[in-house]
Structure 1
Amino acid sequence: MNKGVFQDLKYKVFQSGNPSFLYIGINTIIFIALALINLPLFLSGNGGLAYESFIREYAGFPALISKLPERFYTILTYQFFQKEFFHLLFNMLWLYWMGRIFLDFLKPRQFHFIYLTGGFAGALVYLLSYNIFPVFAAATASGATIIGSSASVMAIVVATATLVPDYAIRLLFFGDVKLKYLAIAYVVMDLIGLGSGNAGGNFAHLGGALLGFTYIKLLKNGTDWSSFFRRKPKLKVVKNSTAGRNEKKNISVVDQKEIDAILDKISKSGYDKLTREEKETLFKASKH
């Protein structure tokens, strides 16, 4: 039975092709592995594996620009190390919930792009803020760093809310809440949090949010930043008339117009107002 559960988890994380499961799995595996490594060190009286002295030093993204040449890789690694259990839990819950909605409308390739570049954007905004605003000068000089997947998750949340702003989810104590209001609430909380002890984290969240919002706005205008992730089809010689090629091109244009019309309908009246045929059209489009 345990072997079956393990195989099922392995499939979902690494073989299902679902990017939200992949990132949830990677973040969780790293957190559990570090916790298990830390346990005997803690019990032996050595104080354990402190984030500040080891993980933050080698995996956290630094605020000090002079450290970047030797810690350049941390713009990626910092996205997969969580400060504490609840930090991991809430990030992964939001990634799961938003990931389900996101992948109903867009492709895994686009999810990968937003998650990773959202983390990059968060790190860069954090870096700029800590080197521009005088209030952070002492923290920057003392070796401040940032860890966590919150910027990446924030990018997915805001991207999803920008794509389908009137899509509603049910929250405990609040009932049905539209994604646009949820995203606005999170952004406002991060703006307020800029004056707190976790200002660096809030700057990173805002960087991720900006990336997610910008990506979807450009996507709706026909620009897909993730297109360089797309595999180029192999060239092959086929016998086909010019008329046939034009017909296929016209069908592709019609399909795209139909999808755009459905997305506009969702933004105005919500996903639940779609007909069965419209939902099937979106589902098929997400698979291709």
Structure 2
Amino acid sequence: MDNLLDDFKNAWKRPNNALPQIIIINIVIFLVLAVLNIFGKIMGVEVVSNFVYDQFTIPPLFSDFLMRPWTLITYAFAHSLHSIFHILFNMLVLYWFGKLIVEYLGNQKLINLYVMGALAGGLLYLFVYNLIPYYIERSNFPGMVGASAAVYAITVAAATLLPNYTFYLMFLGPVKIKYIAGFYILISFLGTVGGNAGGNIAHLGGAFMGYLYIKQLQSGNDWGLWIGGIMRFFKSLFIKQPKIKVTHKRSNKSSRNSSSKTSSNTGTAQNIADQAEIDAILDKISQSGYESLSKEEKQKLFNASKKS
């Protein structure tokens, strides 16, 4: 409990601390929207609070979506105001499974999964409600909110990476996370024709993205590199980069150049060797589970996750 509280107390003081930051952003947005909703009803200006809420609600029809396309990502940071359990459940699952992703793959991979899971869930939701007759007939609702698609991506990603990792659940005892993820997917599939059909369809889209992301990562392809690039671009707009002072010396110039090239080549070769070793460890986890790793392999994977 102390570690959890410490994570959130220092959420903005520590570098590479995306998990508590994402959770805090979700909570703050929920509270702001809830307060606006209350004052809107009390003061008789619900049109204002509803307008703000709509900016976080992804509509089912393309014609409405084109009027506010940003909702393809903002919907993943808002939750239903009718029940606190919607955000509570999402944030708990995000914390439990997100800790695994951060520990074994690093901070940036968690961000990648959250964003790509939200995009995949939102796109599948739009596809279904605009191309499948059964859902087109049932598209007369305001829209969808919730981080569930992003959370499902992280949950399934963790279960794909570490299928035999065990959580101890109340009343059930030790359960491998691959079974927990499988249960979530089954429940969502059964709900695709229920009252929350749109949300459950988005869950499946996020889950599929989580699986694909890890499989591609194990093959050496990081589908989320563009997300890190966008983040670095916007960060560069607000954070002033230090100027680098370059000096030149004539003495032993050729010797230093030769030494530098040798060092660079050695470093490049070492990086390639390290990446190949990490890929082999991830393959072993996928096939036999995390418990099959030796102590040295676990340490190498942990060290690699801290560099990500």
TM-score, normalisation: structure 2: 0.80
Instruction: After TM superposition, give the deviation of residue 255 of structure 1 in Å.
Output: 1.8
Q: Are 2:72 and 1:72 equivalent residues in the alignment? A: no
| Alpha-carbon distance in structure 2 between the residues aligned to 1:46 and 1:246 | 69
Match of 1:3 in 2: none
Distance of aligned partners of 1:138 and 1:261 in 2 relative to their CA distance in 1, 3 Å threshold:
closer
Gaps of 5+ in 2: 234-242, 249-255
Distance of aligned partners of 1:201 and 1:55 in 2 relative to their CA distance in 1, 3 Å threshold:
farther
Question: Does the residue aligned with 2:69 lie in a helix, a strand or coil?
Answer: coil
Instruction: After TM superposition, give the deviation of residue 207 of structure 1 in Å.
Output: 0.6
Match of 2:29 in 1: 30
| Alpha-carbon distance in structure 2 between the residues aligned to 1:120 and 1:38 | 27
Match of 1:279 in 2: 298
Instruction: After TM superposition, give the deviation of residue 18 of structure 1 in Å.
Output: 1.6
Match of 2:193 in 1: 195
Instruction: After TM superposition, give the deviation of residue 165 of structure 1 in Å.
Output: 1.3
* 1:50-92 deviation digits (Å, cap 9, x = unpaired): 98x5455332101111122221111111111111310100100
Distance of aligned partners of 1:197 and 1:143 in 2 relative to their CA distance in 1, 3 Å threshold:
closer
Question: Does the residue aligned with 1:170 lie in a helix, a strand or coil?
Answer: strand
* 1:14-65 deviation digits (Å, cap 9, x = unpaired): 74432111110001011122223333444x37496898x5455332101111
Instruction: After TM superposition, give the deviation of residue 134 of structure 1 in Å.
Output: 1.8
Match of 2:78 in 1: 81
Match of 2:280 in 1: 261
Note the 1:4-23 alignment, pairs <5 A.
Answer: 9=8, 11-13=10-12, 15-23=14-22
Match of 2:239 in 1: none
Q: Please tell me whether Structure 1 or Structure 2 has the larger radius of gyration of its CA atoms.
A: 2
| Alpha-carbon distance in structure 2 between the residues aligned to 1:112 and 1:271 | 22
Note the 1:78-157 alignment, pairs <5 A.
Answer: 78-83=75-80, 84-140=83-139, 142-157=140-155
| Alpha-carbon distance in structure 1 between the residues aligned to 2:225 and 2:37 | 41
Instruction: After TM superposition, give the deviation of residue 212 of structure 1 in Å.
Output: 0.9
* 1:118-176 deviation digits (Å, cap 9, x = unpaired): 10110110011111222222332x35411100001111111111111111111112221
Q: Are 2:78 and 1:59 equivalent residues in the alignment? A: no
| Alpha-carbon distance in structure 1 between the residues aligned to 2:108 and 2:60 | 30
| Alpha-carbon distance in structure 1 between the residues aligned to 2:141 and 2:194 | 18
| Alpha-carbon distance in structure 2 between the residues aligned to 1:35 and 1:7 | 26
| Alpha-carbon distance in structure 1 between the residues aligned to 2:8 and 2:185 | 33
Distance of aligned partners of 1:88 and 1:116 in 2 relative to their CA distance in 1, 3 Å threshold:
same
What is the letter of the counterpart of residue 97 of structure 2? M
Distance of aligned partners of 1:55 and 1:200 in 2 relative to their CA distance in 1, 3 Å threshold:
farther
| Alpha-carbon distance in structure 1 between the residues aligned to 2:14 and 2:272 | 33
In the alignment, is the contact (CA less than 8 A) between 1:158 and 1:213 conserved in 2?
A: yes
In the alignment, is the contact (CA less than 8 A) between 2:118 and 2:147 conserved in 1?
A: yes
What is the letter of the counterpart of residue 19 of structure 1? A
Question: Does the residue aligned with 2:68 lie in a helix, a strand or coil?
Answer: coil
Distance of aligned partners of 1:245 and 1:58 in 2 relative to their CA distance in 1, 3 Å threshold:
closer
In the alignment, is the contact (CA less than 8 A) between 1:14 and 1:22 conserved in 2?
A: no
Aligned-residue CA RMSD (Å): 3.0
What is the letter of the counterpart of residue 68 of structure 1? F
Instruction: After TM superposition, give the deviation of residue 241 of structure 1 in Å.
Output: 5.2
Distance of aligned partners of 1:208 and 1:98 in 2 relative to their CA distance in 1, 3 Å threshold:
same
Match of 1:162 in 2: 160
Question: Does the residue aligned with 1:176 lie in a helix, a strand or coil?
Answer: strand
| Alpha-carbon distance in structure 1 between the residues aligned to 2:47 and 2:160 | 40
Tell me the number of residue pairs that the alignment of Structure 1 and Structure 2 aligns: 279
Relative to structure 2, which stretch is displaced further, 145-154 or 184-193?
184-193
In the alignment, is the contact (CA less than 8 A) between 1:56 and 1:145 conserved in 2?
A: no
What is the letter of the counterpart of residue 199 of structure 1? A
What is the letter of the counterpart of residue 215 of structure 2? K
Question: Does the residue aligned with 1:101 lie in a helix, a strand or coil?
Answer: helix
Question: Does the residue aligned with 2:138 lie in a helix, a strand or coil?
Answer: helix
TM-score, normalisation: structure 1: 0.85
What is the letter of the counterpart of residue 134 of structure 1? P
| Alpha-carbon distance in structure 1 between the residues aligned to 2:263 and 2:15 | 36
Q: 2:179 aligns with which of 170, 178, 181?
A: 181
| Alpha-carbon distance in structure 2 between the residues aligned to 1:7 and 1:216 | 29
